[in-house]
Structure 1
Amino acid sequence: MLRIAVILSAMLALTACETIKGAGQDVQNAGQAIDNEI
């Protein structure tokens, strides 16, 4: 049971990291689009 809990925790942590990374890329792309318009 402990092994399953550890595996699930690791999966959730990796998913959260990917989500934050994706959000950062979206913000960066939006900033570049604004710079291109100016």
Structure 2
Amino acid sequence: MKKISALFLLVAALGSLAGCNTVDGFGKDVQHVGEKMQDASKK
């Protein structure tokens, strides 16, 4: 039972780390689009 619990915790930890990286990348993409929109509106 301990092995199953440890495996579940490991998978959950890896999933949360991957989710953080995905959200961080998405935030950078949105920021980049916003900057391009600002540049276009200044022209």
Do the structures match in fold with TM over 0.5?
A: yes
Q: Quick check: which has more Rg, 1 or 2?
A: 2
Measured in 2, the distance between the counterparts of 1:21 and 1:5 equals: 24
**Which deviations, in whole Å up to 9, do the C-alpha atoms of 1:1-38 show, x marking residues without a partner?**
11110000000001111111111000000000111112
Q: How does the TM-score come out when normalised to structure 2?
A: 0.80
Measured in 1, the distance between the counterparts of 2:27 and 2:21 equals: 10
Instruction: Give identity over the alignment, percent.
Output: 26
Where do 4+ consecutive residues of structure 1 move more than 2 Å? none
Q: How does the TM-score come out when normalised to structure 1?
A: 0.88
> Cα RMSD (Å) of the superposition?
0.7
Matched, 1:22 2:25: yes
Measured in 2, the distance between the counterparts of 1:21 and 1:8 equals: 20
